[in-house]
């Protein structure tokens, strides 16, 4: 017996903690492309992978439009030199953005640590 081929809409909502509305919305936005069995949606492993990419992008603060661009990079067609070079440019931009976010995170974590220390000290003083 081979791997499951399809996921139902409720399986995905349960696995990722999202609503059916969200899944249908992403489909309207052409981010997902579930097949149909009569009227029911059947999500493929590819849909599930894309969904993970979408949710990860959202966690990082990307809009759906940005998520779409990033996913399109993954799916890029072979293309000619000019296209490929443009693609590299866009990749570099996203990488720079992500590196900025890394810095932002490190700063924030550091500050939260400092707050935590001062709170801890206050707690120690309280007996």
| Contacts with a copy of itself, residue ranges (CB under 8 A) | 56-62, 70, 73-74, 76, 78-81, 84-85, 87-88, 91, 94-95, 98-102, 104-105, 107-109, 111-113, 115-116, 119-120, 122-123, 126
Query: Site residues for DNA, window 68-127 (CB under 7 A)?
Result: none
How far apart are the C-alpha atoms of 11 and 104, rounded to whole Å? Answer: 35
Tokens standing for residue 126? 């309280």
- Determine the 3-state secondary structure of 94 from DSSP: helix
Q: Which of 47, 48, 46, 42 is nearest to 8 (CA)?
A: 42
Which of 20, 49 has the CB closer to a copy of itself?
A: 49
Kindly state the smallest distance separating residue 120's Cβ from a copy of itself, in Å.
7
Which of 14, 98 has the CB closer to a copy of itself?
A: 98
Q: What's the burial of 103, exposed, middle or buried (CB within 10 Å: 0-12/13-18/19+)?
A: exposed
The site for DNA (CB under 7 A) is made up of 8-10, 19-22, 24-25, 38-41, 58, 63-65
């Amino acid at each position: 017996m081979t791997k499951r081929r399809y996921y139902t809409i409720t399986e995905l909502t349960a696995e990722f903690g999202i609503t059916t509305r969200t899944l249908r919305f992403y489909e309207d936005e052409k981010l997902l492309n579930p097949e149909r069995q009569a009227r029911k949606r059947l999500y493929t492993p590819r849909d599930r992978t894309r969904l993970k990419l979408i949710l990860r992008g959202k966690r990082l603060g990307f809009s759906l439009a940005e998520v779409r661009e990033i996913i399109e990079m993954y799916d890029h067609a072979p293309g000619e030199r000019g296209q490929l070079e443009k693609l590299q440019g866009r990749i570099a931009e996203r990488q720079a953005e992500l590196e900025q976010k890394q810095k932002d995170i490190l700063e924030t974590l550091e500050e939260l640590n400092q707050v935590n220390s001062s709170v801890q000290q206050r707690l120690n003083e309280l007996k």
